[in-house]
């Protein structure tokens, strides 16, 4: 998807909203469901965040290679590359980007097998706009939006 709100070119899809009280943050939203992707994008842009989107994990991985983000919000069940596969790639590449996994079914077994994935939060679908924004604010506040490099987790096997 590439409409007037989104960008795969590396340019922010929105500008800071006048009157927004939080510090400017850039978020990548990844979901193969166009309705969810558009709703999340609208809610985040209207709250003052710069948002780029990707319709699957493979496109998200390519986007992460070109741009810096403060937060990744990703669905789990997507074609090509799942949300957790995307996070595994990120951690193997030493990306410390905080991740919110938004999914209908949290993959507890896989998360237990790979504790080094270091998810910042999970968001169970369906969720409200308030739950989305609250989780985003909590994660960004807790992480300080650090982009420092990290060591790969010892248990992560791709």
Is residue 120 domain-resident? yes
Residue 3 lies in a domain: no
Residue 67 maps to a domain: yes
Structural domain contains residue 69: yes
Has residue 16 been placed in a domain? no
Q: What is the pLDDT of residues 112-148, one digit of tens each?
A: 788 888 899 999 999 999 999 999 999 999 987 444 4
Chain segment 35-59, per-residue pLDDT in tens: 999 999 999 999 999 999 999 999 9
Q: What's the chain look like in SS3?
A: CCCCCCCCCCCCCCCCCCCCCCCCCEEEEECCCHHHHHHHHHHHHHCCCEEEEECCHHHHHHHHHHCCCCEEEEECCCCCCCHHHHHHHHHHCCECCCEEEEECCCCHHHHHHCHHHCCCEEEECCCCHHHHHHHHHHHHHHHCCCCCECCCCCCCCC
User: How does pLDDT run across 65-110, given as a tens digit for each residue?
Assistant: 999 999 999 999 998 999 999 999 999 999 999 999 998 887 788 8
Domain CATH code at residue 45: 3.40.50.2300
**Is the distance from CB of 1 to CB of 53 less than 8 angstroms?**
yes
- Quote the number of domains for the chain: 1
- Cβ partners under 8 Å of residue 144, min gap 6: none
Domain that holds residue 123: 26-143
Q: Does residue 156 form part of some domain? A: no
């Amino acid at each position: 998807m590439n409409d007037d709100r989104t960008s795969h070119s590396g340019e922010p899809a929105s500008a800071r909203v006048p009157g927004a009280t939080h510090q400017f943050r850039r978020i990548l939203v990844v979901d193969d469901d166009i309705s969810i992707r558009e709703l999340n994008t609208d809610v985040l842009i209207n709250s003052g965040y710069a948002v780029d989107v990707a319709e699957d994990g493979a496109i998200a991985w390519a986007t992460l290679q070109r741009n810096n983000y403060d937060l990744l919000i990703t669905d789990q069940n997507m074609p090509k590359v799942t949300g957790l596969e995307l996070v595994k790639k990120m951690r193997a590449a030493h990306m410390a980007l905080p991740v919110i996994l938004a999914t209908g079914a949290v993959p507890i077994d896989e998360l237990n097998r790979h504790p080094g994935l270091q998810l910042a939060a999970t968001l169970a679908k369906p969720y409200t706009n308030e739950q989305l924004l609250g989780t985003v604010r909590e994660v960004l506040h807790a992480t300080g939006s650090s982009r420092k490099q990290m060591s790969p987790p010892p248990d992560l096997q791709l």
